[in-house]
Amino acid sequence: MNATVFTLTLRQFAGQRRSLLMFGLALVPVALAIIYRLGEHLNQHEETASFLADVVVTAILPLACLILGTSALGSEIEDGTVVYILAKPVPRRHIIAAKFAASALISAAFVVPATAVSGLIGLQGVSEEGIVTGFVIATLVGVFAYTAVFILLSVATSRALLFGLAYVFIWEGLITELFSGTRYLSIRQYCLGIADLISTVSEGDFEANLGGVEGLVLATVVAAAALVLAVRRLEAFELTGTD
């Protein structure tokens, strides 16, 4: 990983309005958890697990990674400034690694604390039963997988944001709910499986559609494959620019 590219990417995120958007996204689950605490609750474990699954894993996590993952390199490709990075004697894998590390770090810095805080608020007064721990670890794994995929999209197409939104809301939000076999191609399902593996609540409170071990293995494979393909695509981009 190239430290200079990593540092510049962090500064890029810090100086953009995206940082305010990320902060707003992180506040959403916390605010909703506070509102939830004001109502009556029949089963806090089930309701909190459903909240974390439906709000954090389904919406906040992928959106945060999408915003940062697609802009880490995609914005530089769009405005043409990527040539200044490619012109330097830096291996393309180091560039992708630096962009991935910076994007994942910032995403995790917002999403993981929001997950923990909103979960603890929802479970206030009852035992945690591994729900918060499970979802915190699951979202962290999800950050790596989603960020890798969205960085790949940013170097593969100029419509990365559009394709990313389609994946999150159409594929994961609709298709995987209708056809159970597609869960093996859903990062959301990987995350839910990991959370289910770690939590100790009964199946009536929370049960994922995919095994936790399967989810962890598939998330690792998807993240690694996406980063390898992103490196190859960036190498091809350099060759095209030098023809």
Number of structural domains the chain divides into = 1
Cβ count within 10 A of residue 128? 16
When mean pLDDT is compared across 82-91, 110-119, 139-148, the lowest value belongs to: 82-91
Decide if pLDDT at 170 tops 50.
Answer: yes
What's the pLDDT at 242?
42
The answer to whether 111 and 64 are in contact (CB under 8 A) is yes
Domain membership of residue 73 as a residue range: 3-34+43-241
Q: Can you read off the two tokens belonging to residue 17? A: 């309005």
What's the pLDDT at 145?
96
pTM: 0.89
CA 117 to chain centre: 18
Q: What is the pLDDT of residues 21-52, one digit of tens each?
A: 888 888 888 998 888 777 766 678 888 888 99
- Out of 88-92, 133-137, 208-212, give the one with best mean pLDDT: 133-137
The answer to whether 126 and 45 are in contact (CB under 8 A) is yes
Residue 202 dihedral angles phi and psi, to the nearest 5°: -70, 165
Integer Cα distance of 222 and 198 in angstroms? 21
Q: Vertex 153, ends 195 and 192: CA angle to 5°?
A: 10
The answer to whether 118 and 32 are in contact (CB under 8 A) is yes
More reliable by pLDDT, 78 or 155: 155
Give the confidence band of 109 by pLDDT, cuts at 50, 70, 90.
very high
Q: Vertex 206, ends 65 and 132: CA angle to 5°?
A: 55
